[in-house]
Amino acid sequence: NKNWVLMPPIPYDAYENDLKEDQFPPFPPSLQEKHYLGTDTIGRDIAARLVYGFRFAIFFSLLLLVFNYAVGVSIGCAMGFWGGKFDLIFQRIIEIWSNVPFLYVIIIISSIVVPNFFMLIVIMAFFGWMGITWTMRTITYKEKAREYVLAAKALGATDFRIMFKHIIPNTISIIVTFAPFAVSGGIVALTSLDYLGFGLPPPTPSWGELLQQGWANLDAWWIGGSVILAMIITLMAVTFIGEAIREAFDPKMHTTYE
């Protein structure tokens, strides 16, 4: 039997510098050197940094989605279900909080401490939960008048049980509809912050940092072009996957009428 080994298609680490004697990076794409998308300005493989950057971006946006939806859906459902003064108070809180300039807060915090991955998630979650809140509030106003909610009240179910066991599960198909846009927004937000220099600290692999290099080195077209192509493919894939998930949760897609 012949010995064999399974090698990765990209033999370079995202932090590894591949420098050449008497030559200066960035280097163009090369199949011979196995730099399929070229290197950046300090000789790091762009393909490797795109893959690692995608991992950071998608993990960031999914965690941000969970935090935003956990807070926003809960508060929005409570606003729509209880209404009255509770609804009015939270409306005023959201209106005031939504007018706080998010970018200025990031700049101030970045000038004091170096932001890390989880710090950025916490900061963005403080400002990102309000969008789904209005949607959930409107949905709950409609759902709380339906027969299954009235039946649950007649059986003695508590308000929290009605909201979390009945209303939210029955509105999941509508909530999931907005999820791909939230994930795409998280990816774009992290990329934008990294591009402006207020995101993940270097040398963390980042699409925004590669875009910044591409803008500063327009003659090295492969740097900016690779990131733009990766973002287009990723955002389209997230949208299509989200649409498939929405259809899977939508009872109308699986109901036949005779």
- For 13-51, write each residue's pLDDT tens digit: 889 888 887 788 899 998 888 899 999 999 999 999 999
Q: How confident is the model at residue 228 (pLDDT cuts 50, 70, 90)?
A: very high
Task: Express each pLDDT in 83-125 by its tens digit.
Answer: 899 999 999 999 999 888 888 888 888 888 888 889 899 989 9
Q: What is the pLDDT of residue 158?
A: 92
Mean pLDDT, range 134-161, rounded to an integer: 92
User: What's the pTM value of the predicted model, to 2 decimals?
Assistant: 0.87
3-state secondary structure the chain: CCCCCCCCCCCCCCCCECCCCCCCCCCCCECCCCECCCECCCCEEHHHHHHHHHHHHHHHHHHHHHHHHHHHHHHHHHHHHHCHHHHHHHHHHHHHHHCCCHHHHHHHHHHHCCCCHHHHHHHHHHHHCHHHHHHHHHHHHHHCCCHHHHHHHHCCCCHHHHHHHHHHHHCHHHHHHHHHHHHHHHHHHHHHHHHHCCCCCCCCCCHHHHHHHHHHCCCCHHHHHHHHHHHHHHHHHHHHHHHHHHHHHCHHHHCCCC
Q: What is the pLDDT of residue 166?
A: 92
| Fold for the domain defined by 46-250 | MetI-like fold (1.10.3720)
Mean pLDDT, range 166-186, rounded to an integer: 89
Residue 257 has pLDDT above 60, yes or no: no
Report which of residues 70 and 102 the model is more confident about.
Answer: 70
Mean pLDDT, range 147-173, rounded to an integer: 91
